[in-house]
């Protein structure tokens, strides 16, 4: 049952004009428009507005896709899926009014190229558990454990706090620690399961399409490539998505089903743990060959340190769709997830968002965009484009 809407939420749902919003910072660019932070004037609430240029939509014949995205996303109500509040249009653009998640993209937790420069000194950070410990999801590194060295520069302090907390997620194998990955992957599995239960193929799973909310929980965004009524269609064979994450049957233009999403889940699991995707090559022809023919390989010592995770990844990345797990319940029943969620109550705690996230963003308020990468490049497709 959906939650009862507050008067503030109803006001946003009933909005029909861009003038009802104060449009603020840019969050991301894409092929057909831009995403900006905005304040709903009546309620003062923060939202993300996806602004899709009509000329570009028509030029690239995307009318059907935009309508499909709107139809799919408006019907979705799940704790691990970002909410689409409403949509409207004017002569210039189509507007999607989205839930704003201030924690940035999941991508930024795995790839932290600039984190070292922002870190406080070692003696300003509380010691963390050793990587060899059996990490417990109930005892993650807490951002508030970083000692305050100066309150004069609040912005710098928050940057250092977030940088230190992100660094504490990292493992020696290139990605984030196994227990932390389990938290994010478990949430994503529930989101994808919800889509599949609604007969929707997602088709665009990647780290950039998962954002972190104010409590540190991941939420799926961007439903532009999603396909409704997938099980009812005689044939799904459109090539779409980012090639790094495409299943072999998608690359080969064969018919595919929900297990194509299962493959993409295996790719992001590998990427979270090892900081790279398993079949990437700068040459698309070679990358395509690797996806279809190459055996998944792991970094040195990975199978010794993460045997359960590697076993699950091998299953998810089976070249034959029928050899992959048939459902996300089957994935969550694997030995890997049972290690971190051993009881029914531990799963309930996650679904009710009572478990503490590995990274809880330190932000100044609802309109803080500091955890989003600043870019003026039109090709930067961050935040749901």
Annotated binding-site residues for ATP read: 50
Whether the Cβ atoms of residue 382 and residue 105 lie closer than 8 Å to each other: yes
CA proximity to 243, closest of 282, 213, 215: 282
Pick out the residues of the known binding site.
50
3-state per-residue secondary structure call for the chain? CCCCCCHHHHHHHCCCCHHHEEEEEEEEECCCEEEEEEEECCCCCEEEEEEEEHHHHHHCCCHHHHHHHHHHHHCCCCCCECCEEEEEECCCEEEEEEECCCCCECHHHHCCCCHHHHCCCHHHCCCCCCCCCCCCCCCCCCHHHCCCCCCCCHHHHHHHHHHHHHHHHECCCCCECHHHHHHHHHHHHHHHHHHHHCCEECCCCCHHHEEECCCCCEEECCCCCCEECHHHCCCCCCCCCCHHHCCHHHHCCCCCCCHHHHHHHHHHHHHHHHCCCCCCCCCHHHHHHHHHHCCCCCCCCHHHHCHHHHHHHHHHCCCCHHHCCCCHHHHHCCHHHHHHCCCHHHHHHHHCCCCCCCCCCCCCCCCCCCCCCCCCCCCCCCCCC
CA proximity to 260, closest of 301, 188, 317, 211: 317
| CA–CA distance, 24 with 26 (Å, rounded to integer) | 7
Q: Which residue has the tokens 């971190």?
A: 340
CA–centroid distance for 53 within its chain = 25
């Amino acid at each position: 049952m959906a939650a009862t809407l507050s008067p503030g939420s109803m006001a946003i749902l009933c909005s029909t004009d861009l003038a009802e919003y104060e449009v603020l910072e840019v969050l991301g660019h894409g092929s057909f428009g831009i995403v900006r932070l905005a304040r709903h004037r009546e309620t003062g609430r923060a939202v993300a507005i996806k602004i899709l240029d009509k000329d570009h939509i028509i030029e690239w014949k995307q009318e059907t896709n935009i309508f499909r995205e709107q139809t799919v996303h408006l019907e979705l109500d799940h704790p691990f899926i970002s909410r689409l509040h409403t949509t409207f249009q004017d002569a210039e653009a189509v507007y999607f009014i989205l839930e704003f998640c201030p924690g940035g993209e999941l991508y930024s937790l795995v790839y932290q190229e600039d984190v070292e420069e922002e870190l406080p000194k070692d003696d300003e950070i509380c010691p963390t558990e050793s990587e060899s410990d059996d990490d417990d999801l109930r005892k993650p590194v807490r951002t508030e454990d970083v000692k305050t060295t100066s309150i004069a520069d609040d912005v710098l302090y928050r940057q250092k706090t977030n940088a230190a907390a992100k660094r504490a997620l990292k493992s020696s194998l290139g990605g984030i620690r196994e227990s932390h990955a389990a938290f994010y992957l478990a949430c994503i599995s529930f989101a994808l399961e919800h889509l599949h239960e609604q007969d929707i193929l997602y088709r665009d799973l990647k780290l950039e399409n998962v954002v972190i909310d104010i409590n540190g929980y991941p939420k799926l965004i961007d439903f532009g490539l999603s396909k409704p009524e997938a099980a009812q269609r005689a044939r799904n064979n459109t090539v779409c998505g980012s090639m790094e994450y495409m299943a072999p049957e998608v690359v080969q233009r064969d018919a595919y089903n929900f297990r194509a999403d299962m493959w993409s889940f295996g790719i992001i699991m590998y990427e979270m743990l090892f900081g790279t995707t398993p079949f990437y090559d700068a040459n698309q022809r070679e990358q395509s060959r690797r996806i279809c023919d190459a055996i998944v390989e792991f970094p040195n010592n990975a199978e010794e340190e993460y045997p359960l995770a590697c076993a699950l990844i091998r299953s998810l990345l089976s070249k034959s769709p029928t050899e992959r797990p048939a459902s996300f319940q089957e994935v969550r029943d694997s030995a890997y997830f049972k290690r971190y969620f051993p009881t029914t109550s531990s799963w309930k705690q996650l679904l009710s968002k009572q478990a503490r996230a590995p990274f809880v963003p330190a932000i100044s308020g609802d309109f803080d965009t500091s955890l989003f990468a600043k870019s003026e490049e039109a090709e930067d497709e961050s935040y749901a484009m």
